Structure 1
Amino acid sequence: MKKWMVSAIAYLLVVVGAYYAYTSFTDTGAEEVSHTDEAQHNDGKTEVNTSEEEGGHDENHNEHESDTNVEGDVQPLIQLENEEIIITLKNKQGEMVSDLEVNHEKLLHLIVVSSDLNEYKHLHPETDEPGIFKVKHNLKPGEYKAFIDIKPKDLAYNVLPVPFVIGEAHEDHEHDPIQPDSSLSKQIGAHSATLALSSFKVNEKIELKFNLNGEIPEQYLGALGHVVILDEKAENYIHVHPLEGNEPLFETEFTNPGIYKIWAEFQFDGEVFVFPYVVEIE
């Protein structure tokens, strides 16, 4: 009897020992998997942050540069009603987007250009309800593209053209292609501005320097000036702010060759003047 009980106890101890050994092994395996997933997640996050820092506006002063191959988390919609442009901001789930960062003194900058790139407007719609912005306009009948420049908090956003029409659309209407300017000196009202580019080559840092005939522009929307650049099809959008200092010096980069239109905005005596230029990048 005693021999049987000793054998039973010994057997029980073997089983219990085997059980604890097994659970200890499986717990260790789960912990390693968890650490591996966390390491992969952290590595991915670091790469994203590095990418943002390398492509951020602190380096090249392009506050916004569109990428037509990337769709962001915010999808703007434009409506026209009673001589008002109404912009509705929604995320991919159809929810209103209202949490925006102030960007150069405004929550939203609206750039509107006509299809022939002759008309240019820089407007600042206001909001009185979440995700909806409104602004009056005096645009003539025609085809336009809008560029809604915002900085949503915690959401990816890419400034893409939003086409709209005032009046009747003319699908068969084509415009003559824009041509590079023979002179980069412009006179608007009593003010003049001459543009000099450090290079006309693609994939190079290019300085845009403006000679304002001795005039010093006033601070406008928190900067000495603003520059908006579009390609000839009005698809790729670049919004540039000046480098630090007391002169209107800007820096940008063109990733594709082609013809581009540049609008430079400067404020004198409380009034904003827009100087247009057309250049060819090779």
Structure 2
Amino acid sequence: MKKSIMVWAASAVLYLGVVIAGYSVYASMNPKADEHTDHTAATVQEEEAVDNQSNHDSHGSHGAAAPSEITRTVSYVNGEIIIELKDKNNHAPELEVSHEKNMHLIVVSSDLQEYHHLHPEKKSAGVYQTKVNLADNSYKVFVDIKPKGLNYSVEPIELHVGNIPHEHGGNDLVADMEFTKTINGQTVELTTRSFEVNKEITLNFNVKDAKPDRYLGALGHVVILDEGGEKYIHVHPVADDKTVFGTQFAKPGIYKLWAEFKFGGQVNVYPFVIEVKK
């Protein structure tokens, strides 16, 4: 009887050793399921972030995942807008040329009625200036640049001109029912009628058998702002010979866009108000 118990105990110890050894081999070949799941989720999130950033950048909104490394100061003195740029080390950043210019400056009144697309010239290190006649009002200014080797995102800067109340009303934008506009005798129609959130949108402009002149390296430019004048999108044609633009909207709501085309040496700006739906 005693011998049987000893044999049974020895067998149990041997069996336990085999189980532990087998599990160790299995664990080394197969990481924990929860660790594998977490790694997969992180990888998917990283890939989605890369894809979203790629799409964002391709739409000309100059979004950046990292904080902007450029500080901007905008002032208006004696009919001139003055922009001062500094990097994180308080140095003047070097700017890349984008569509034939170092800087595209978009100035829009807070009610989104007045619109200017300007190209300030460099006056000294980090200082750019341009002349423009602005009425007393509150404006949103967008400094559209590509600093070399630095993160940058285009964000609105408040600019107050003249004696105006600090608290001013918003805008009364209503989506257009008519998508054909005539400026300086040249008619342009926005033939796109459906605008949905989180979908690739093709903005197709019919220039009525006319052919626009090339303007800043393209057949046209489109600037888009949301109703609050916070979200900025700047897009260019999808091809060199077409007045077709591709973009995407992250949120539903009312947006205003300005389509710029050059005919006979004159740049016409065609405003449209659209509604992006879920």
Give the corresponding residue for 2:61: 64
Query: Aligned match of 1:130 in 125, 128, 137?
Result: 125
Given that residues 227 and 241 in structure 1 are in contact (C-alpha distance below 8 angstroms), is that contact kept between their aligned partners in structure 2? Answer: yes
The 5-angstrom pairing of residues 224-235 of structure 1 reads: 224-235=219-230
Matches within 5 A, 1:178-217: 178-197=173-192, 199-217=194-212
Instruction: Specify the alignment match of 1:158 in structure 2.
Output: 153
**C-alpha separation between the residues in 2 aligned to 1:66 and 1:112?**
19
Counterpart AA for 1:104: H
Q: Is the 8 A contact 1:243 1:251 kept in 2?
A: yes
Q: Is the 8 A contact 1:65 1:236 kept in 2?
A: no
RMSD between superposed Cα atoms in Å:
2.2
Structure 1 residues 238 and 231: alpha-carbon distance in aligned structure 2, compared to 1, 3 A threshold: same
Q: Taking structure 2 as the reference length, what is the TM-score of the superposition? A: 0.78
| Alpha-carbon distance between aligned partners in 2 of 1:109 and 1:167, rounded to the nearest angstrom | 24
Q: 2:53 aligns with which of 55, 65, 68?
A: 55
Letter paired with 2:245: F
Cα distance in 2 for partners of 1:183, 1:60 equals: 31
2:62 and 2:175 map into 1 onto residues whose CA distance is 22
In structure 1, how many angstroms separate the alpha carbons of the residues matched to 2:238 and 2:57?
9
Q: Aligned ranges for residues 14-93 of structure 1 at < 5 Å?
A: 55-56=53-54, 61-66=58-63, 71-93=67-89
TM-score normalized with structure 1 length: 0.77
Contact 2:238 2:245 in 1 (8 A): yes
C-alpha deviation, 1:62, in angstroms = 1.2
CA deviations on 1:198-238 (whole Å, 9 max, x unpaired) are 63110000000001111111110000000000001000000
- Partner Cα distance (2:156, 2:202) in 1: 25
The count of corresponding residues between Structure 1 and Structure 2 is: 233
Q: Which residue of 2 aligns with 1:8?
A: none
Q: Which residue of 2 aligns with 1:96?
A: 92
Give the Cα–Cα distance (whole angstroms) in 1 for the partners of residues 171 and 116 of structure 2.
Answer: 21
Deviation at 1:168, TM superposition (A): 1.2
1:56 is displaced (CA, Å) by: 3.4
Which structure 1 segments of 5+ residues have no match? 1-43
Deviation by residue 1:114-169 (Cα, 9 ceiling, x = unmatched): 01100000000000311110001111111001000000000000000011111013
